Structure 1
Amino acid sequence: MIITCAVTGSSPVPNHPNFPFRPDHVAQEALDAAEAGASIIHIHVRDSTTGEPSQALDDYREVVSRIRDKNDEVILNVTTGPGCTWMQSEEDPAQSGPGTLMFTAERRLEHILDLKPDMCTLDICTMQLWGGVAINLDPMITRMGHMIQDAGVLPEIECFEAGDFVFADDLIAKHAIPAHAPFSFVLGTKYGLPATSEAMIYSRNQIPRGATWTGFGVSRHSFPMAAQAILLGGHIRVGFEDTIYLRKGELAENNATLVHRGAEIVRYLGADVASVGEARKFLGLRS
């Protein structure tokens, strides 16, 4: 089973004394997570002073270079999520309000085209999210999908709700995303797929036969959904993007602690933790 570690995310900084947001800290958390058994590191970046989510190319460059300087094997999976958030104006519902962040495909992929990581996430949902609407319409995602493939990067298709699987089928049919693209199921967001066994089974049954997939839950659902994914033949994701707790009331010391717990669950359920080389083979990535 592949373990992905999402080390920082883009939500507001939680109340945790060791939450990483400076580039050097994010990179070190990634390196420690890889040492603990994560084959894939999912990367967001933040402002080094405020901790607010960043879309600055230099921040991505610094984090990726710091990781690669010390580990050139671990699989880097960089976000393309920022730039799809629309907030409605209270004065005029036809206009955007404060907090809207809508980018062109070129802007959303600027760091991907520059850094060419092994993988990048591709959110394909259009739904209520983050107090507004995440908008990922067909023309935008089709363009992004072709640009990602042209750059030699493997997209991971992030599915938040049931209609995303139908959309993914259409994207595959017109070659906007590759037929062998891996999927991740995001369970437990308020208006998306619930963090239940039934939702994960449903999700697994909607994707192409033989596709690689990862199932994970947010917040308190992180480890229960990791166990469910393993039992259903999927891979798992852990990390501070999804939860800062090992169990109710007990903060995880760092991302590596969460990876260790994920690896324990993998082994307790009779499976093995994939090495980076094995993960690359599963995903069709170059060694």
Structure 2
Amino acid sequence: MSRKVIISCAVTGSIHTPSMSPHLPLTPLQIAEEAIAAAEAGAAVLHLHARDPQDGSPSFDPAVFRQFLPDIARQTNAVINITTGGSHTMTLEQRLAAALDVSPEMASCNMGSMNFGYFQVLDKLKEFRFDWEHDYLDGSRNRIFRNTFGDIEHIMTTLGGGHGTRFEFECYDVGHLYTLKHFVDRGLVKGTLFLQFALGILGGIGADPENLTHMKRIADKLFGTNYQWSVLAAGRHQMPMATQAALMGGHVRVGLEDSLYVGRGQLATSNADQVRQIRSILETLGLDVATPDEARAMLELKGRTGVKLP
């Protein structure tokens, strides 16, 4: 039997700004339409952030999330995965607000504090649609994305223990795997883990085959067979690293949060563009794309029961 591969799609994120691409979804309607189209193209998991409808800046407001989440839930069977990473400008309470409001099947959890640099885009981007963009990008020089041991424990106990939400554990470096092992050993994380190896962010591990192989080897050492794993890679590394992950037995993540492109110098016009591209690659390799319910089974999710959406 062919192996099932889960496609996750990160629809908008909080790193890219409106001036970088006219196709980046900003309004609730755009986010809903993009997510629904990505699910129709084959994404089983939708990783979701919100943006201010007026200027496209990152938003933590549950009311904004609720302007697009119900439509996505009604029109797709995809797993809704809500960020707890938000952006580097938000407090922990702000980053958790939407997930606690909705009680989703899945949420992301960054496995450590880190330098998270995207200021380097200012070397190329000189004109901005909105005033906030320049200072936001430049601010990543001096801000740390914070997720301390205490923060992670709070996320795991309030959202995981309190709501039955399971996590996409975002691991940006090898040390993040050891941090996760600490929480597994303490009994705060149980069941099958879902690791997301995040490659190519300035401040984290680089996006190359050797690093991916190393991350997988350490995960095997720490967790044995008790995990599923996926890869996200920033920018031009997205498709090559996703393809390598699939060849190595992993799952894949694409989406405009991670890369704005679908080929060299070619902007993706939608998230669905990238989903269709990686789906074509997977099927060419003889792999089957997992349905949402197959993804739920593999990741041991609670299902739509208990999610506070229609």
1:141 is aligned, of 136, 142, 152, to 152
Equivalent position of 1:180 in the other structure:
192
What does 1:76-225 align with in structure 2 at a 5 Å threshold?
76-82=80-86, 85=88, 101-104=89-92, 106-130=93-117, 131=140, 132-149=143-160, 150-207=162-219, 208-210=223-225, 211-225=227-241
Work out whether 1:13 is the aligned partner of 2:13.
no
1:75 is aligned, of 79, 93, 100, to 79
For 2:23 and 2:204, the matched residues in 1 are separated by: 29
The code of the aligned residue for 1:103 comes to T
Secondary structure of 1:261's aligned partner: helix
- 1:61-98 residue CA offsets vs partner (Å, 9 max, x unmatched): 11211211322x21011100026x3xxxxxxxxxxxxx
Higher helix share: 2
Residue 112 of structure 1, CA deviation: 1.2
The code of the aligned residue for 1:21 comes to L
Secondary structure of 2:51's aligned partner: coil
The code of the aligned residue for 2:74 comes to D
Q: What runs of 5+ residues in structure 1 fail to find an aligned partner?
A: 86-100
Considering only aligned residues, what root-mean-square deviation do their CA atoms show, in Å?
A: 1.4
For the 8 Å contact 1:125–1:161, the answer to whether it is kept is no
Residue 5 of structure 1, CA deviation: 0.6
For 2:276 and 2:259, the matched residues in 1 are separated by: 14
- 1:234-278 residue CA offsets vs partner (Å, 9 max, x unmatched): 100011101121111111121111100010111122211111121
For 2:62 and 2:282, the matched residues in 1 are separated by: 35
For the 8 Å contact 2:38–2:272, the answer to whether it is kept is yes
Work out whether 1:50 is the aligned partner of 2:46.
no
Are the structure 2 counterparts of residues 156 and 80 from structure 1 closer, same or farther at C-alpha, using a change threshold of 3 Å? same
For the 8 Å contact 2:207–2:233, the answer to whether it is kept is yes
For 1:107 and 1:128, the matched residues in 2 are separated by: 20
The code of the aligned residue for 2:148 comes to L
Equivalent position of 2:261 in the other structure:
245
For the 8 Å contact 2:191–2:300, the answer to whether it is kept is no
For 1:107 and 1:249, the matched residues in 2 are separated by: 36
Residue 283 of structure 1, CA deviation: 0.7
For 1:226 and 1:10, the matched residues in 2 are separated by: 21
For 1:82 and 1:25, the matched residues in 2 are separated by: 18
- Deviation larger for 27-36 or 10-19: 10-19
User: Number of residues paired by the alignment?
Assistant: 269
- Percent identity between matched residues is 33
Equivalent position of 1:94 in the other structure:
none
For the 8 Å contact 1:172–1:179, the answer to whether it is kept is no
Residue 118 of structure 1, CA deviation: 1.1
Are the structure 2 counterparts of residues 14 and 244 from structure 1 closer, same or farther at C-alpha, using a change threshold of 3 Å? farther
Secondary structure of 2:212's aligned partner: helix
For the 8 Å contact 1:6–1:240, the answer to whether it is kept is yes
Secondary structure of 1:241's aligned partner: coil
Equivalent position of 1:279 in the other structure:
295
- 1:15-49 residue CA offsets vs partner (Å, 9 max, x unmatched): 32222110011011000000000000000000111
Are the structure 2 counterparts of residues 47 and 102 from structure 1 closer, same or farther at C-alpha, using a change threshold of 3 Å? closer
Secondary structure of 1:214's aligned partner: strand
For 1:38 and 1:5, the matched residues in 2 are separated by: 6
Are the structure 2 counterparts of residues 114 and 24 from structure 1 closer, same or farther at C-alpha, using a change threshold of 3 Å? same
